[in-house]
Every structure is written in C-alpha cells, then in structure tokens.
Structure 1
Amino acid sequence: MEDVVVTFFRDDAGGAPVLVEGLPGIGHVGKLVADHLIDELGGEKIAEISSVHFPPQVVVDEQGVTHLVNNEIYRCEKDGVAILFLVGDFQSTSAEGHYVLAERYLDLAEALGVRRIYTLGGYGVGHLVEHPRVLSAINMERLRPEVEAAGGSFENAGSGGMIMGASGLLLGLGKARGIEGICLMGETSGYIVDPRSADSLLTVLSAMIGIDIDHTTLQQRAEAMEQIIANIRETEEARGREELNYIG
C-alpha cells in the first residue's frame, strides 16, 4: 500500500476555491462545525483518503463488514458558492505522517482549484467558557482585517502558542504554495465535546465564506451539553456537602 491513497468516486466531481478542514481536535470544535455544514448544505462525498499513517485498524459497519479507516472530502454548493470539506475521524499517528498527509491534502487542494483554506479547531483554556471567543491565526498578514471584520480575534497573538496537526501544517505548508490559510479556533475548556464553542466558530466562518447557515442543531446540542454539565456540577456539590457533613 502507498503512504497515502486517494479514491475519487466521480471523474467530474468538480472543484472549489475554498477548502474547510475539520478533523478531530480539542473539544471536537472544528469537527462539529464541518460536519454541521456538510449536513446543512447537503454535501456530496467525492473522495476517500486512506493512509499507512492512520491508526492500524479497520471500522466494522452495521452489516459486520470491515473497512479501512479513512478521511473524506465532500463538496457542497449554496447560492453559487462552492466549498470543499476535509473531514474524518483520524489524524496521523506520527510526526512524519502529519507532514506527509498535509502535503497530500495540499496536492489535492491545488488539483481541485483551492485558493484559500480554513482550518478549524478548539483553543483549550482549561475551564468552562460561557461566551467563547473565536481566536485566529493566518499565514499571510493581509488576511487579518478580513478575519477581524467577521468577528475573529487575535488576542492570542504573541502568546507563543502552537497549532498542532493538520490545522497548523496546512497553513504553514500552504503558504509556500501561495494558498491563503486561516485558522479559526473556538475557545473551549478542552475537557468535553463543545457545541457552544462550535456555534461561535460557525458564526465567524459563515460570515467569512458568505453563506447563511441554520444554527439550530448546534444550539440544541449546546443546550443539551449545558444540562449535562449542570447535572455534573450539582452532583459534585452534593458530594462535597456530604463529605463536609461526614467530617463534622
């Protein structure tokens, strides 16, 4: 097997000027946004990507049939705006593999006419956030005013932080190819799957891309998660009171 294998399902799948990457990361924030957009826009899967750099396992479907693990490329179009999505459940298991995969993703992006890449992720702060900011990074300085106008923040700039995996490498390696790169990171605790942070990120991304998206599903998930968190807090407080009574 080659290091990376790409299987297209159509010869005429069509390209797009924009690629959105939403692979797993902190709080699954980017993945939640990308999956939500694909669902809302009725995306079509045009390709699958398998690699020796993914975990050594297969997925067993509901019929008991095994499939190699893979990531996927979807194409969506709304109001004349075409968008490609790189999604899936896997990133590389090695540092070398991250570079190999990122270069292959960029090869595909160039072949499909991509001129700008948005990479999505979470920005872990270690505590629950009531009103998540969308923190940002760019690979070309001229992109900053556009990001700020859409609601993205650069308050994290100069903090010495790093962006790991595909979300960072697509910006760094893409710059050498002349591909614009914008990383949008929803502020999140990093402890839980965070649909509230994803909802904030979706607002900024949709403004930048220029499409209107229904947020209802994400907001419902955020409300459900908040109820779970409230239940956990209540349980912990009750346990704390019991321990104090026992000590007294």
Structure 2
Amino acid sequence: MLNEGFLKSFGNTSSWHIGFLLVKTFLVLKLLIDLGCCHMDRPHFNYMFNPALENPIFVQGFPGFGNVGKIAAHLLIKFTGAKPFAELYSPTFPDYVSVNSDGICRLPKYEFFAASMKENDFIIMTGDTQPSFDDVLAHYEVCSEILDFLVKQGCRFLVTIGGVPISEEKTQVYVAATSPRLALEFMEKGAVIYSKGRIVGATGLLLGLAKERNLEGICLLGATAGFKADRGAGFSVFKFLMKALGNEVKEGL
C-alpha cells in the first residue's frame, strides 16, 4: 500500500504532481479490480440482486437545470422505499472518484433502484454525472446499454425527468412524448406541451432511442428559475407523476 515515505519521496511541485497522478491511477485501478472489470472498455453493469418486477415503469432523474431530475428521482426512491439492485459504470464517465465522509472513494456510476407498489412497479435510475457533451458516441452507447438492460427487466414505458429554465418564477410541468396520444394524455392531466425545443443528454436521448425500439415514454420538465438546486420544482414534477399514475402524495414528504 501507499505510505507517507512514498509520498515524501516526491520533493518538488512537479514530482508531487506525478505522485498525485500515480496515487489517483492506483485508486482507480483498485476500484476496477474490486468491480471485477479491470479491463473495462465499455459500459459495465454490477448487479446486487435480480428484482421480481411486473411491467415496471422506468423513471430517470439526473443532475441538470435546478437538479430537478435528481431531486424528483430521490423523492420517488424515498416514497416507494426502492432498493438499489444494479449499478452501471462506463469508461466514458469523467476521470475522477467521489470520496465519502469516511474517506472511501468510488468511480462515477448510475444507480438502479427497484420498488413494487400496489399500482405500479418501478425501476428508478439516478447518477453522478454523464459522459462529456462533446462525446456524442458515448451518450448513444451508454443509453443503448441502458435500454437493453430495461428490456431484459420487462420495462416497456419510460419517464425521464429534467428541468427547463424560465425567466419568471412559476410552478409548471412540461411534457414531451414518444407519441401524440401520450402527449395529449398527460396534457389532460395538467402538463403543458413542451414544443420547439431540445432535450439534451440522456433525458432526451433515452426517449428518442426508446421510440426507435417501439417503446413508449414521456419526458417531464419542471420549470426552474436558476441553476441552483430547486427542490420545489423537483417536488412538483414528482407529485405530478405520482398523481398521473394514481398515487397521492402528501406535502410533508
């Protein structure tokens, strides 16, 4: 293992930089070995258990505008009591590790949670980050792997969640869908059609690729006034989705 003497052997700033890179490389390699994927050259799933789900609805929420997607996903995890059952790692994720309060590091990842409720079963995905926006092929590769995984889990309906920046403060949920029927259905439930815009990253690409596979889905976008975490917008989207699926939510969640 690395010790203090090893680190002190790097006397100047340049040597310290080299030492830092060596330590970082060592830690990343150790993580890869622990995952059983030291030669990871493509997206890799790590399973904790295989959940017994019936026609699960997939819900995705990532960091983004106002962190709306990630906030809504975590509210859904809490509401349903969902349990983590799989993780996705990819060499196209950024080159850093996250370190927890105990000093333990891990690679960036996507997490998948499973939940069974009276009305619906769910697979909920959230994560730390996404591939670089400049790496278009990586986005397609990772999203395709996710869809392959979801099809194996019996999922036929997707919900992606994000935020949309607006100049004024107001509570509003926008919807885009894979078909006119779905767009109309969720508009009648209170959403506003999101038109003539773009939905970037996995939040949009998952829907586009799902449509090519004859899967159905919607994207729900919560109106947010800025880039800082907007729990109100995240809660509004979460509450809208639950009500649309037949579940009532109390404000105190």
TM-score by length of 1: 0.80
Matched, 1:189 2:230: no
Partners of 2:73 and 2:137 in 1: CA distance: 25
Deviation of 1:70 (Å): 0.7
Structure 1: gaps of 5 or more residues: 218-248
Matched, 1:23 2:59: no
Matched, 1:107 2:148: yes
Deviation of 1:128 (Å): 4.2
TM-superposition CA deviations, 1:20-42 (whole Å, max 9, x none): 00011111011111101101211
| Other structure's SS at 1:143 match | helix
Equivalent in 167, 177, 185 of residue 203 of structure 2? 167
Partners of 2:50 and 2:160 in 1: CA distance: 26
Deviation of 1:96 (Å): 1.7
Q: Match for residue 71 of structure 1?
A: 110
Partners of 1:186 and 1:11 in 2: CA distance: 32
| Other structure's SS at 1:87 match | strand
Moved more, 132-141 or 8-17: 8-17
Deviation of 1:111 (Å): 0.7
**Equivalent residue pairs, number:** 212
Partners of 2:147 and 2:223 in 1: CA distance: 27
Deviation of 1:13 (Å): 5.1
| Other structure's SS at 1:191 match | coil
Task: Note closer, same or farther for the CA distance 1:33–1:12 as it changes in structure 2 (3 Å cut).
Answer: closer
Q: Which amino acid aligns with 1:201?
A: V
Contact 1:170 1:181 in 2 (8 A): no
Contact 1:24 1:88 in 2 (8 A): yes
Q: Match for residue 237 of structure 1?
A: none
Partners of 2:114 and 2:89 in 1: CA distance: 18
Partners of 2:56 and 2:155 in 1: CA distance: 4
Q: Which amino acid aligns with 2:44?
A: V
| Other structure's SS at 1:216 match | coil
TM-score by length of 2: 0.79
Q: Match for residue 160 of structure 2?
A: 119
Moved more, 188-197 or 208-217: 208-217
Q: Match for residue 22 of structure 2?
A: none
Q: Match for residue 29 of structure 2?
A: none
Q: Which amino acid aligns with 1:8?
A: Y
Contact 2:75 2:235 in 1 (8 A): no
Q: Match for residue 96 of structure 1?
A: 137
Q: Match for residue 86 of structure 2?
A: 47
Structure 2: gaps of 5 or more residues: 1-39
Which aligned pairs between 1:177-216 and structure 2 lie closer than 5 A? Answer: 177-216=213-252
Which aligned pairs between 1:134-149 and structure 2 lie closer than 5 A? Answer: 134-149=173-188
The structure 1 segments of at least 4 consecutive aligned residues displaced by more than 6 Å after TM superposition are none
